[in-house]
Amino acid sequence: MNDNEIKKLLESDHSEPKVPKDEWSKIEREISPAKPSWILSLGGTFAVCLVLVLFNNKFKSPSLSLSFQERENVVSYLFDNVGFEEVEEGSLEEEPLSL
């Protein structure tokens, strides 16, 4: 075969595949500067801490730190209202409650 015959034969083949639509985006993903990993890990740590704080605020038990006056009020309330009717007579004398 001479040069022209070869060229003609090669020209007769139009089977070349088309350019995929997302080709550039795939290349761009590879060549764009990646964020440093320490930024990502810092972000992740911050997010975890934030979630823990929010979770704690939402579900934490009510504070039990009371002032002296409040504790006195609570004890008075308990003495006045809660189940001392069932306490046997004499037991209070033997073991007096100390506050």
Partner 1 sequence: MFKASWTTSPKKFKNLYDENREYIRTAIYWMVRDDGVDDIVQEVFIKAWKSRDSFKGDSHVKTWLYRIAMNCSKDYLSKRNRLRDLYGESDEEARVEEGGLIESRELINIGLKVLSPELREKFILHYKLGLTTKEIGEVLQIPEGTVKSQLSKARELFSKALEKEKVMS
List interacting residues with partner 1 (CB under 8 A). 1, 3, 6-7, 9-10, 12-17, 19-20, 23-24, 26-28, 30-32
Distance of alpha carbon 11 from alpha carbon 5, whole angstroms: 10
Closest separation in Å from C-beta 27 to partner 1: 5
Q: Which is nearer to partner 1, 27 or 50 (CB)?
A: 27
Structure tokens at 88: 């046997």
Q: Least distance to partner 1 from the beta carbon of 38, Å?
A: 23
In whole angstroms, the minimum distance from the beta carbon of 36 to partner 1 comes to 17
